[in-house]
Amino acid sequence: MQTQTKAVAPPSTTDFSIFPLLAVLIWTGNTLVTKMAAGAIEPAAITFYRWLLAGTVLTPFVLRTVWQQRAIVAAHWPKLAFLGLLGMGMYQGLAYEAAKTTSAINMGVVVALMPLMSAMLASIFAAEAITASRIGGALLSLAGLVFLSTHGHPTELLNGAAHIGDAIMLIAVASNALYGVLLKRWAIPLSTWQQLYVQIGFGLLVILPFWVMAPSSPINAHNAPLVLYAGIAASIGAPFCWMSGIKKLGPARASLFMNLLPIFVALAASTFLGEDLHSFHAVGGLLALAGVWWGQRK
């Protein structure tokens, strides 16, 4: 009797879509955590604590291999330090500061602009001509942000109606977009986890003086869950899922999932934080996302 072996079909791309989707869901939660941290813990404190926790968790798994690659770390330390400043210091620290004066919904829309910002910065640093679609997309997204920040009354921008938190969040996202562009452009010969670990170390050195000078803000029962989520889920879990998604689907297809972030954040913020949804959220958010789509078109 002949036995027939049943062919096993390879996993479909749908199976791998769970990775970037999980990353976006974790980042959605982190946006809410960032907003909840306002008033519960100082921005410099939660920034320092979250990366200290992430570095501590990674140490047993990464320290030995990083030590073996110490010559590479020494040769590239200025670049690694600058990446730590951008990704761990500026992006996270400014986001916590922005949360004091803007809503989680607004923050979600601004974060969704990161792919377009990365494309614009990549054109600049690669000495490529900036296409008309990228310029048009950037202007359209900017119009959406102005509409969002002024609660649907752009003319009031002249009277200082915009939230300072939206501007701070825009700078934070721009710093993280630059981080991604430089990370790819410099191509430091270390694994992803080794680079992350070393950048965390340099990031902590940058954040340390701000933590020391900030008002005392110790970890307590109220803010400990926020630090745990930011330090483990957002700092380790989300990067793992995102890197896995890019590896399986490619950066272009994975980046499409970022368009879901403002939708998820809006629903979560209205449900768990009691933030009100208004028509200007829909109009401003749609304009911003339309700009992202336009700017990323080939």
pLDDT tens digits, one per residue of 9-51: 455 545 567 888 899 999 999 999 999 999 899 999 999 999 9
CA distance linking residue 297 with residue 286, whole number of Å: 17
Q: Kindly give the interhelix angle for 279-296 and 114-125, rounded to the nearest 10 degrees.
A: 30
pLDDT digits (tens, 9 = 90+) for 127-168: 666 777 777 777 777 777 777 767 666 666 555 555 788 889
Q: What is the per-residue pLDDT for 116?
A: 77
Q: What is the per-residue pLDDT for 275?
A: 84
Q: Indicate the helix (H) or strand (E) that contains 270.
A: none
pTM beyond 0.85: the answer is no
CA distance linking residue 171 with residue 166, whole number of Å: 9
Which stretches of the chain drop beneath a pLDDT of 70? 1-16, 126-129, 149, 151-162, 251-252, 295-298
Task: Supply 145's token pair.
Answer: 């942000």
Q: Looking at this protein, which amino acid is placed at residue 53? A: L
Q: What is the per-residue pLDDT for 1?
A: 47
Torsion of CA 181, 88, 213, 31, to 10 degrees: 110
